[in-house]
Amino acid sequence: MLNLEGVTVYYGGALALENVSLSVEEETLTAIIGPNGAGKTTLLRSIIGLKKIHKGSIWFAGKRIDGLSTREIVKMGVSLCPERRRILPEMTVLENLEMGAYLRKTKGEVREDLKKVFDLFPVLEERKGQLAGTLSGGEQQMLAIGRALMSRPKLLMLDEPSLGLSPIMRSVVFKKIDEIRMEGVTILLVEQDAYSALKIADKGLVLENGRIVQESSGESLLKDENVRRAYLGI
Amino acid sequence: MALLEVKGLTKRFKGLIAVKNVSFTVDEGECVGIIGPNGAGKTTIFNLITGFLKPENGAVFLKGEDITNLKPYEIVNRGIARTFQLICPFPNMSVMENVLVPLYGKRKKLEGNLEEKGSEILKLVGLSHQKDKLARNLPHGDLKKLEIARALATEPEILLLDEPFAGLSFDEMAVLMEVIKKLHKSGLTIVIVEHVMRVIMNLSERVIVISEGEKIAEGKPKEVVQDKKVIEAYLGVSTIA
């Protein structure tokens, strides 16, 4: 469904991604783990067209998408829940969620999805009329995930969705991500909580210094000695 | 006398009661953890202590003095410093310059030169090797340390840390944990809001649990995580370490 071929990206003079090739199969969950600064966020931003790539190509559903605008890529069915939330603080919770569905025409479906998001995060329904900037940090994180879901993506990319969430919400979110995958959405997940991510992943990639250094099933990465030491602390 | 005392704090945001009659004390040299569900009011409590918000009811005392109605900068000068969830260093300044800004505010009281003091602080948090780098080029783990360094540069007696471990990799967490332990050992009083339970269990001597604006439990970390109310509202599972 998603293919990256030899993608190289620079930030200023610094090499952020070097010759990255990967493929994400339909209806699977791929987890990307790696230290901070490895290029995980850059990878997601490149896919959705927020960062220009300097070499290589990116393909989604058989079409080349590098060079397309973010708007066009979102319209094709890709969505991103960005790091650091990036919610719209001066809009209400409901308006933020509606913005997530901005490119969709079918009102009935949007309403359905809104209900789904409220089922997932009841606190968002309680606070739907409140300005998003007045939510707590963790609640803003929930809103960012909800907003990403509102575009009903075929490929959902989540950048550290568990950041700032309580232990109980963290397990709710991981369970929900697993469920969303079961419903047929393809997921690309970037997480510091490598254990939780690999546990639900079909495939795991380890990104270090802008390069993919390991690629395997989620399960076998969980068992891998190096991964355990570096990313799981066990 | 407690170093910090929070007495019957209440804060409303329009209809919502964000903090409801919360009281607790922090003794000198303690490391106290605050945990609780998202939206429970933890950051609001920090905002009330540091003067970013004013409570409707209740008061904050530092060494017995009422500081409730002081401005944030006055409270910093009295010795309470804090960090923020979303770190915001000056991106186009070097690491050293970022620390010199708060130090400059202390220039009249400080002996010796500011850069020397800055170097000391950077050494303490383990950022000496990055001192000339622009803040925007730092990896995330180092940015979190810089956020703490900037707070330390105000020479606080109490340091309030708001989710310092969020977004850190396992390795970075281990490093930051050592930094905070070191600060605590040097005599600094610390209050830490954090969701990473491993950190809370490891660092705090006492834990306060806030849920829906109210204090629902308080005690040793090991006791608190066995508390039924805490498991229900926050942890979800009983066994965590």
Q: Give residue A231's pLDDT.
A: 81
Task: Report the pLDDT averaged over residues B19-30.
Answer: 97
Q: Is the pLDDT of residue B213 over 50?
A: yes
**Rounded distance, CA A51 to CA A120, Å?**
31
Q: Is the pLDDT of residue A217 over 80?
A: yes
Q: B43 and A166 in contact by Cβ < 8 A?
A: no
Q: Is the pLDDT of residue B170 over 90?
A: no
Q: With an 8 Å Cβ cutoff, is A135 touching chain B?
A: yes
The pLDDT mean for chain B works out to: 93
Q: Is the pLDDT of residue B240 over 50?
A: no
Protein fold of B4-79+156-235: Rossmann fold (3.40.50)
Q: Give residue B238's pLDDT.
A: 53
Higher pLDDT pick, A103 / B99: B99
Q: Give residue B159's pLDDT.
A: 98
* Three-class SS state of A62: coil
Q: Provide ipTM, 2 decimals.
A: 0.80
pLDDT tens profile A87-104:
999 999 999 999 999 888
- How would residue A85 be classed by pLDDT, with cut points 50, 70 and 90? confident
Task: Report the pLDDT averaged over residues A161-170.
Answer: 90
Residues of chain B whose beta carbon is less than 8 angstroms from a beta carbon of chain A are 13, 35-44, 85-86, 139-141, 163, 166-174, 195, 197, 233-237, 240
Q: Give residue B122's pLDDT.
A: 96
- How would residue B192 be classed by pLDDT, with cut points 50, 70 and 90? very high
- Looking at CA atoms only, how far is residue B66 from chain A in angstroms? 27
DSSP H stretches of helix in chain A:
40-47, 70-76, 93-100, 107-120, 122-126, 137-149, 167-182, 194-200, 218-223, 225-227
Q: Is the pLDDT of residue A53 over 70?
A: yes
- What does residue B97 show for φ and ψ, rounded to 5 degrees? -60, -35
**Residue B189, strand partner residues:** B158
pLDDT tens profile B43-91:
999 999 999 999 999 999 999 999 999 999 999 999 999 999 988 899 9
Q: Give residue B88's pLDDT.
A: 83
Asked whether the beta carbons of B144 and B108 are under 8 A apart, the reply is no
**Rounded distance, CA B58 to CA B122, Å?**
37
pLDDT tens profile B104-115:
888 877 777 899
